[in-house]
Amino acid sequence: MTEKAEKLIIRLQEVTRIYKVGVEHIHALDGINLELGENEYVAVMGASGSGKSTLMNVLGCLDRATSGCYELDGQDTTKMSDATLARIRNERIGFVFQSFELLGQLSALKNVEMPLIYSQNGWWSRHMRAKNVLERVGLGDRIKHKPNQLSGGEKQRVAIARALVCNPSILLADEPTGNLDSKTSEGILDLFDQLYREGQTIIIVTHEEHVALHARRTIHMRDGRIYSDLPRDQDPAYNTTMQEDAREEPE
Ligand SMILES: Nc1ncnc2c1ncn2[C@@H]1O[C@H](COP(=O)(O)OP(=O)(O)O)[C@@H](O)[C@H]1O
Ligand SMILES: [Mg+2]
C-alpha cells in the first residue's frame, strides 16, 4: 500500500486458486499477498497465463479462492454465502471488460441503469443516476443510442458508466483498451486518470507498458505469483520513459 492510502480496501493473504483439469492441478494463483488502499491506481501486468484474470475474478468476487483469506472493506469474503457475495459484488465492485459486454437491445441509458435494478431506488432516481454518470464519462449526448450505434470507445465509456453507477469501492478493468485503436485507448486512459483524480480506486490489468504507466503502482505476475510490486516512480519502465521524454524536451 502506498503512503497516500489511509483506508485499506483489499487484503489478500496467501490466496491460491487451483483449477482441477482431469488429474492435473493448475495453480492459477499460488500464494498471493496484497494490500490495497483507498484511491490507489494499480496496474497488474504479466504474460498470458500468469494469473491476471484469475486474480481479477477473485478480487471481484466472481470466483472464490481455493485457500487463503480475502478481506474487502474489512470484511472476510471467504466465509460469506454465495448470496452475500453476489450482493457485495453488485454494491462494491465495478467491472470493465475488453469486450464491453453491453446488452445490444438496450440503450446506453438502460445498460447503465441495469445494476441499479437491485437497489431500492425508484425509476426516476435510477434514471437520473444513470444519466449523470453517462455525463461524467462524456456521453451526455448519446444516452438513447444502442451499442451498435456507438463507436468502440463510446461503448467502453458506457461500460465504464455502468461499472460506476453503484459507486463501487473498486473499479476492476481487465484489458479495457484491448479492443480499441491507440487514439481511442488514450481517451479511455485519460478517463481513468480523471476518475482516479476524483478519488476512485482502480485496478487495471494490461500486458501493455504504455497502459500500465498511467497507474501509480505496478504489480508484475508470473506463474500465479506476484514477483514485483512497485510505486510508479520506482518502476524501471517509467523511469526510462521519463528520461526519453526529458531528452525530447526542446532546449
Ligand atoms: N477455468 C479454467 N480452468 C482451468 N484452467 C484455467 C481456467 N482459467 C484459467 N486457467 C489457467 O490458469 C492460468 C492463469 O490463467 P489466467 O488467469 O486467465 O491468466 P492471464 O489472465 O494472465 O492470461 C493459466 O494457466 C490458465 O490456463
Ligand atoms: Mg486474462
Tell whether ligand 1 has an atom less than 6 A from the beta carbon of residue 185.
Answer: no
Please name the residue whose Cα sits nearest to atom 12 of ligand 1: 28
Instruction: Give the pLDDT score at 57.
Output: 95
For the CA of 17, the nearest atom of ligand 1: 12
Tell whether ligand 1 has an atom less than 6 A from the beta carbon of residue 178.
Answer: no
Task: Residues 8-248: name the CATH superfamily.
Answer: P-loop containing nucleotide triphosphate hydrolases (3.40.50.300)
The preferred substitution site among 54, 204, 221 for testing ligand 1, maximizing ligand atoms within 8 Å of CB, is 54
Percentage of residues in the chain having pLDDT higher than 70: 94
For the CA of 55, the nearest atom of ligand 1: 17
The reply to whether the predicted model has a pTM over 0.85 is: yes
What digits encode the pLDDT tens for the residues 154-174? 999 999 999 999 999 999 999
Question: Using an 8 Å Cβ cutoff, are 114 and 103 in contact?
Answer: yes
What digits encode the pLDDT tens for the residues 42-62? 999 999 999 999 999 999 999
E strand intervals along the chain:
8-21, 24-37, 41-45, 67-72, 75-76, 93-97, 170-174, 202-205, 217-222, 225-231
For the CA of 21, the nearest atom of ligand 1: 4
Please name the residue whose Cα sits nearest to atom 17 of ligand 1: 51
Q: What is the mean pLDDT of residues 72-81?
A: 93
Please name the residue whose Cα sits nearest to atom 27 of ligand 1: 49
Q: Which of 219, 224, 227 is nearest to 25 (CA)?
A: 224
Tell whether ligand 1 has an atom less than 6 A from the beta carbon of residue 49.
Answer: yes
d(CA 55, CA 16): 9
Please name the residue whose Cα sits nearest to atom 20 of ligand 1: 49
Query: Residue ranges of the domains in the chain?
Result: 8-248
